[in-house]
Structure 1
Amino acid sequence: MQPDDIDPSLVDFGVLARWMDDEGLPGGAFERVERLGGGTQNVLVRFCRGDRPYVLRRPPVHPRPRSNDALRREARVLAALDGTGVRAPRLIAACTDETVMNGVVFYLMESVRGFNPTTTLPRPYADDPAVRHRMGLDAAAALAELGAVDHVAVGLGDVGHPEGFLERQVGRWLSELESYDALDGYPGADIPGLTEVAAWLEERRPREWRPGIMHGDYHLANLLYDPDHPRVAAIVDWEMCTIGDPLLDLGWLIATWPAGEAAPLAGAIGTAGGLPATDELVDVYAARTDRDLSALTWYAVLACFKLGIVLEGTHARAFAGKASKDVGDLLHATTLGLFARARTFMET
């Protein structure tokens, strides 16, 4: 039976039941069905069937041209990470055939016991800054574990296009920004510092780097923490994963780290404070890697540049009625903040 609060155009539970039966997964009624919040993009639905919990993930309500390909890549990366020790949800099964359900691919993953610190802080996390400090350090440790995985050894040698990855970044994301002009009603990007940041990145690009698995959007909002211990239980939302330069993930963590006026944007944990300084994050990562971190400021600036342009996409889609105006306005303000932070990094 289709749950009343889940639109069948998003998840058709009759189709899902038949597909799960064909996959040999436990049968029976769908129970405790719940659409999960978090993020502005892909759809997440948690449910139980046959006494087994699942989380279903599919592209957004208004899929982008590459949404299905992104979900196929996510599923493949999660499957490859199983058994590596990287703290990612375990993939259960994936439907990579978009003709099965409403023109989109989807996958099922394990339901992780944990909480996101940007939305809630249970005790003792809310009461003890020393515990929050340890949470922050473990975010860097969990990231270092991902960066240490040999992507070729786990079967991801043909994923993405790592050759020339850094060389492509500025042009790739400027083109993405330009593509938003095709959305009805969007007046065009108004981002102070855009040209200046782009030129700085091109002039100072690292000459040597080593490919590896990138999460692509590594920050506190994409981490679930163990309710009983101040450690990362799972890294979630792998939409932007690829084979590229893992140091961009570290730059991303630094670029989005709650500090100063930006701290409240990280929600509960940003407001509570007590997190380690970014230098401490770098020290934790450095102790667990043999990568050269001397150009880390460049990666942090690139992270601000790339993430700012990604978020501006939701602002542009809001003009076309494909995203909430309130969310679009908030993310545009975040974009402006990221470019301001980039210029600060450049100056220091």
Structure 2
Amino acid sequence: MSPAGLSPSATTGVAGTGAPDPRLADWDQISGWLHSQGIGPDPGSPVEVLAGGTQNILIRYTHADRELVLRRPPLHLRKSSNEVLRREVEILGALAGSAVPHAALVAACTDESVIGWVFYVMEMVDGFNPAVVVPPRFAENRDLRRDIAFHAMDVLATMGNLDYRSIGLEQFGRPEGFLERQIPRWLRELDSFGALDGYDGVELPGLNQIVAWLGANQPATFRPGIMHGDYHLANVIFSEDDARVLAVVDWEMATIGDPLLDLGRFLATWPSADEPIGIAGPIYRTEGLPLADELVDRYCTTSELDVSAVDWYVVLACFKIGVILEGTHARSCAGLADPAVGARLHGMSQALFRRAERIVS
């Protein structure tokens, strides 16, 4: 499995020979930089594109019998692509030696003038991602499936406990006013969709009620800490032996904020009988997964944070994710995204708002 929990694509080249896949078009130039850093690739070793194209691209290669993964931006750079990867490099470097499992940073090229964009190399993580595949042992063992979720809670709590200042992340985010910024930030995002041709807007269930409730019930204080920003099972790699977390991956949305929003995000899309959200992935279709209350209880066994306002964070996460998903639907109406994907994500957005509406009613 790749660090993102994705199976390698069929695209395989050989180091130093080039490859037809455009995602490897710069491989000879990249190889020169890798050799200058003493990290290969080995002559004639296979080079595999694990994932990417429109998203960040992962390329697996070998150096001295060591499996490494290079992470680079998409072929068509976004305005923020290089800065996002620089931030990933910064947090992965800061996490070295901490209790938060992650793919170890090996080397980074943060000067975009070298290749044309920022990239970095990390250790290969040999585990599985339950949003992609559930190994036979886990499919047959309810306790192991439950451990996947419980161990994810343990790591999330550990991350929230970590003193970000002690690992050099004082300037990594803006914790002051973090909660106050959330509602205006995502309302502006929602309003911006109206500028897209072909999108006439939709009624999001309970929107006004949800926004009013969030404003009236916002926690007075919080303890700033590391936030992953998109913490769910698709971004966690597990051991096939014991469901232990081997790595949390995809740190592109990480910041310093309120760690309890990561808990809210995880719970917002967790399977529940009250409102199926439609999250894809085999783990979510299995039976016997812990209930949301069980996950919160497990989080509390490790966390030093006060979770008494957990419903507020779940509602905020439903609101935020719902707006993001509706954005893809809006772009699909304007011909800027796949219509089928847009329709599916619109359904998920509606379900998230209904889940939030039930909590605040």
TM-score (norm 1): 0.91
CA distance in 2, matches of 1:281, 1:118: 18
Flag the 1:183–1:23 CA change in 2: closer, same or farther, 3 A: farther
The equivalent residue for 1:80 is 94
Cα distance in structure 2, aligned partners of 1:291 and 1:284 = 13
State the alpha-carbon separation in 2 of the partners of residues 49 and 181 from structure 1. Answer: 50
In the alignment, the residues of structure 2 paired with residue 29 and residue 39 of structure 1 have an alpha-carbon distance, to the nearest angstrom, of: 25
Verify: 1:19 aligned to 2:28, yes or no.
Answer: no
* Residue 301 of structure 1: aligned partner: 315
Correspondences of 1:261-340 after superposition (within 5 Å): 262=276, 265-319=279-333, 322-340=336-354
Given residue 229 of structure 2, which amino acid in structure 1 is its aligned partner? G
CA separation of 1:40 and 1:305: change in aligned 2, threshold 3 A: farther
CA drift of 1:186 comes to 4.1
Secondary structure of 1:75's match? helix
Question: Corresponding residue for 1:141?
Answer: 154
Give the match for residue 204 of structure 1.
217
Contact kept, 8 Å, 1:46 with 1:55, in 2: the verdict is yes
Farther off after superposition, 60-69 or 273-282: 60-69
Q: Which residue of 70, 80, 86 maps to 1:56?
A: 70
Distance in 1, Cα, partners of 2:120 & 2:138? 32
Any idea what the Cα deviations from partners look like across 1:244-289, whole Å, max 9, x if unmatched?
Answer: 0001011111111122252762421111122111111111111112
Spell out, residue by residue over 1:272-325, the C-alpha distance to the aligned partner (whole angstroms, 9 max, x if none): 122111111111111112211111100011111111222233333444555433
Q: Does 1:153 align with 2:160?
A: no
Equivalent residue letter for 2:300: A
Task: Report the counterpart of residue 237 of structure 2 in structure 1.
Answer: 224
Distance, in Å, in 2 between the alignment partners of 1:324 and 1:117 is 26
Match of 1:257 among 242, 252, 270: 270
Residue identity opposite 1:201 in structure 2:
L
**Aligned residue for 2:129?**
116
Measured in 2, the distance between the counterparts of 1:273 and 1:315 equals 30
Aligned residues: 344
Alignment partner of 1:126: what SS?
Answer: helix
| TM-score for the superposition, normalised by structure 2 | 0.88
Q: In 2, distance between residues paired with 1:114 and 1:277?
A: 25
Partner of 1:2: 18
Q: Secondary structure at the match of 1:262?
A: coil
Structure 2: tracts of 5 or more residues without a match: 1-16
Inter-partner Cα distance in structure 1 for 2:123 and 2:81: 21
Letter in 1 for 2:345: L
Question: What letter is aligned with 2:192?
Answer: S
Partner amino acid for 2:217?
R
Which stretch shows the higher mean deviation, 271-280 or 146-155? Answer: 271-280
Instruction: State which drifts further: 319-328 or 15-24.
Output: 319-328
Residue in structure 2 matched with residue 244 of structure 1 by the alignment: 257
| CA deviation string 1:141-194 (max 9, x = no partner) | 111111111100000001111110000001111222333444554444553333
Partner Cα distance (2:43, 2:211) in 1: 53
Q: 1:201-222 deviations in whole A, cap 9, x for unaligned?
A: 1111101101000000011111
- C-alpha displacement of 1:110: 1.2
Distance 2:53 2:260 in 1: 23
How many Å separate the matches in 2 of 1:85 and 1:310? Answer: 31
Look up the SS of the partner of 2:167 in the other structure.
coil
One-letter amino acid matched to 1:204? N
- Residue identity (%): 49
**RMSD over aligned Cα, in angstroms?**
2.3
Mapped contact 2:206–2:354 kept (Cα < 8 A):
yes
Residue 356 of structure 2 is matched in structure 1 by 342
Deviates more, 1:171-180 or 1:209-218: 171-180
1:100-111 matched pairs, under 5 angstroms: 100-102=114-116, 104-111=117-124
Q: CA deviation at 1:67?
A: 2.6
- Identify unmatched segments of 5+ residues in structure 1: none
Quote the residue 1:69 is aligned against. Answer: 83
The 10-residue stretch of structure 1 (179-188 or 209-218) with the greater mean CA deviation from structure 2? 179-188
Give me the whole-angstrom Cα distance separating, in 2, the residues matched to 1:91 and 1:101: 19
Q: Distance in 1 between matches of 2:278 and 2:134?
A: 14
Shift of the 172–263 alpha-carbon distance from structure 1 to 2, 3 Å rule, reads closer
Question: How far, CA to CA, are the matches of 2:320 and 2:286 in structure 1?
Answer: 28
Q: In the alignment, is the contact (CA less than 8 A) between 1:29 and 1:50 conserved in 2?
A: no
Partner of 1:265: helix, strand, or coil?
Answer: coil
The Cα shift of 1:22 comes to 2.7
